[in-house]
């Protein structure tokens, strides 16, 4: 039985008190679905961006990172670091396009970009598949993480029973808060969880059995602390690394890093007050998620390898939690419990609200029950959130084994979809039929390459993504096109790069380019600078921690990225004025 100090109880109760206070502050503002799902488009860049970061900091994230590091070392983190490529492309190429669209959800964009009954079908189909089915998978692995976390803090209690109470509290405050309240609560929860993990990492590496960074390094297999893969046993293979960086970022749908933006990232972008807030908020999210946050998780995961070297793959994520039992100071147990609760509740609230926004705004409201009052649709959203929470509970308890396994499944099964989510902004021939074809084609190719031909991850994605991209582009010349008037209205509304749309206007000699001619160049420069900043920064920290590597190269790349980001942002803001 774990003995809790009075400080542990204080830290445990602290987030619940703050959440209730914030609920009281924001409860009176929920009068419309636009407020409930979009905060009336009034969030600042910092609140919107931090809310994105908080949502991706789920209770499962440190456990999944621990599973990865125990298997493939620090270099294994490229299985999610590669997503920064798509993240920066969303920042500089798509964030302003999303905000200009004026949509309430990213699925509403389907009605603006496409035409015909096929567009209505696609919107409703994606609302159900993503807003309910895939959302269940996501919440299922988040709940699974809590089922692994709870026994560490409450070993004599039934984890599944405690999870029920947490789900009830999450549904309660999600229903009351709406997106505005959830976003402000997310800001608090992110900093609570982040500070907790920093302190946890500090105490973990200074345990007597570890002996600081030098002691940790001496006790580890050298492959475990490599930043880049070397292809040897216990490290990420080089070819996997290259596929991740060159293919996965544009091919696979994954929550929080959808190609071209989307999901709850698009929801928070659409909730910002203007285009600059959309740009800055999404930039803050990418920098914080990939650069500022990971190292405390990494250090604790490495400590767990030394302390518990014989954990099975299924149990490996628990290594992160088991370190808590190794002589932590008073209050640390309670602080980490509150950190995990904050991370869990933040992700739960966002996904409940986001999933309900799809099912209400893109399925129920336009197709099943038109013309009803906002109060009616809000009641429907409450019911949807309750059903989603119940189903995700049973999925976690009876349907999942490992968190990393759920990650890989999503990446493989969606690896033909991401391409079309980018192409629809740039190639006018993409229609609703093309996107429907992508949703049919991707699972079929996944079954063929991964299950029938037994091609393993990530090669299965390479085959699926390449073949689907070719087939989808070819299909645009045979499938029906979107109505020309709808396309022109979409172009005038969002102003995507004219170069890729000029084929639509070949018969209209008076059509002029309506964006700044250097926008593509500046967006590309901003993307490359952002990647230099994040990857250079990660490598610089790697060199400082282990006193090895080419520190000067890391610093130069980091500083070039920082200067490039500043200049790109300044140029984009001047162009807008």
pLDDT, one tens digit per residue, over 234-271 is 677 888 888 888 888 888 777 777 888 888 899 999 99
CA end-to-end span of the chain: 63
pLDDT: which is higher, 8 or 287: 287
The phi and psi torsions of 263 (rounded to 5 degrees) equal: 60, -145
Q: Is the pLDDT of residue 385 over 90?
A: yes
Cβ atoms of residues 264 and 351 within 8 Å: yes
Indicate the pTM of the whole model: 0.90
Indicate if the alpha-carbon torsion angle 259, 260, 266, 272 is positive or negative.
positive
The predicted pLDDT at position 264 comes to 87
Q: Is the pLDDT of residue 439 over 70?
A: yes
The predicted pLDDT at position 404 comes to 53
% of the chain exceeding 70 in pLDDT: 93
* 114-152 confidence digits (pLDDT tens): 998 999 999 999 999 888 888 888 888 888 888 888 888
CA–CA separation, 462 vs 133, rounded Å?
Answer: 25
* 445-493 confidence digits (pLDDT tens): 888 887 788 887 778 888 888 888 899 899 988 888 899 899 989 988 9
% of the chain exceeding 90 in pLDDT: 36
Which whole number is the average pLDDT over 401-417? 65
Cβ atoms of residues 323 and 304 within 8 Å: yes
CA–CA separation, 236 vs 136, rounded Å?
Answer: 30
Cβ atoms of residues 480 and 433 within 8 Å: yes
DSSP 184-246: HHHHHHHHHHHHHHHHHHHHHHTSTTT-HHHHHHHHS-GGGG-SS--SSTTS--HHHHHHIII
* 311-357 confidence digits (pLDDT tens): 887 788 888 988 988 888 888 888 888 888 888 888 899 999 999 99
CATH fold for domain 6-414:
Sodium/glucose cotransporter (1.20.1730)
Cβ atoms of residues 438 and 266 within 8 Å: no
pLDDT: which is higher, 63 or 49: 49
Q: How confident is the model at residue 295 (pLDDT cuts 50, 70, 90)?
A: very high
Assign residue 262 a region (left: φ > 0; alpha: ψ between -120 and 50; beta: otherwise): left
* Cis bond before residue 458 (omega within 30° of 0): yes
Q: How confident is the model at residue 528 (pLDDT cuts 50, 70, 90)?
A: very high
DSSP 292-314: ISHHHHHHHHHHHHHH-TT--TT
The predicted pLDDT at position 534 comes to 96
The predicted pLDDT at position 418 comes to 85
DSSP annotation of 480: P
């Amino acid at each position: 039985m774990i003995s809790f100090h009075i400080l542990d109880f204080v830290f445990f109760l602290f987030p619940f008190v703050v959440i209730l206070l914030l609920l009281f502050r924001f409860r009176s503002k929920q009068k419309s679905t636009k407020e409930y799902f979009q905060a009336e488009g009034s969030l600042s860049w910092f609140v919107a961006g931090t809310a994105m970061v908080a949502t991706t900091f789920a209770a499962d994230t440190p456990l999944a990172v621990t599973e990865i590091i125990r298997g493939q070392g620090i270099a294994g983190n490229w299985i999610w670091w590669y997503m920064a490529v798509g993240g920066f492309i969303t920042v500089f190429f798509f964030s302003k396009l999303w905000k200009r669209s004026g949509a309430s959800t990213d699925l509403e964009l389907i009605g603006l970009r496409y035409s015909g009954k096929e567009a209505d079908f696609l919107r409703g189909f994606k609302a159900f598949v993503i807003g309910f089915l895939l959302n269940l998978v996501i919440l299922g692995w988040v709940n699974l993480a809590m089922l692994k976390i709870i026994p560490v803090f409450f070993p004599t209690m039934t984890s599944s029973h405690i999870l029920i109470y947490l789900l009830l509290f999450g549904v309660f405050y999600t229903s009351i808060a709406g997106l505005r309240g959830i976003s402000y609560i997310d800001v608090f929860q992110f900093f609570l969880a982040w500070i907790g993990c920093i302190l946890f990492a500090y105490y973990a590496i200074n345990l007597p059995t570890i002996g600081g960074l030098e002691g940790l390094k001496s006790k580890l297999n050298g492959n475990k602390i490599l930043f880049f893969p070397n292809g040897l046993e216990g490290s990420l293979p080089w070819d996997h690394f290259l596929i991740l960086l060159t293919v996965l970022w544009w091919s696979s749908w994954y929550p929080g890093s959808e190609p071209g933006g989307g999901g709850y990232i698009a929801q928070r972008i659409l909730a910002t007050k203007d285009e600059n807030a959309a740009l800055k908020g999404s930039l803050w999210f990418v920098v914080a998620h990939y650069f500022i946050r990971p190292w405390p998780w990494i250090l604790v995961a490495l400590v767990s390898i030394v302390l518990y070297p014989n954990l099975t793959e299924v149990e490996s994520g628990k290594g992160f939690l088991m370190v808590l039992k190794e002589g932590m100071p008073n209050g640390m147990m309670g602080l980490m419990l509150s950190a995990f609760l904050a991370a869990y509740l933040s992700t739960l609230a966002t996904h409940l609200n986001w999933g309900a926004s799809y099912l209400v705004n893109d399925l129920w409201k336009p197709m099943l029950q038109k013309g009803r009052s906002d109060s009616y649709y809000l009641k429907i959203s409450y019911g949807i959130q309750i059903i989603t929470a119940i189903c995700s509970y049973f999925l976690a308890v009876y349907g999942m084994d490992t968190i990393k396994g759920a990650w890989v499944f999503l990446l493989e099964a969606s690896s033909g979809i991401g391409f079309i989510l980018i192409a629809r902004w740039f190639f006018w021939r993409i229609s609703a039929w093309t996107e429907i074809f992508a949703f049919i084609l991707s699972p079929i190719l996944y079954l063929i390459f991964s299950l029938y031909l037994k091609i393993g991850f990530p090669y299965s994605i390479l085959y699926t993504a390449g073949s689907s991209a070719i087939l989808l582009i070819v299909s645009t010349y045979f499938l029906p096109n979107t109505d020309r008037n709808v396309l022109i209205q979409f172009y005038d509304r969002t102003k995507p790069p004219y170069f890729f749309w000029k084929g639509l206007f070949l018969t209209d000699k008076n059509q002029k380019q309506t964006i700044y001619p250097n926008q593509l160049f500046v967006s590309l420069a901003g993307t490359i600078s952002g990647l230099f900043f994040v990857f250079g920064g990660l490598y610089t920290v790697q060199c400082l921690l282990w006193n090895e590597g080419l520190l000067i190269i890391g610093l130069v790349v980091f500083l070039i990225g920082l200067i490039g980001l500043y200049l790109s942002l300044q140029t984009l803001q001047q162009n807008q004025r």
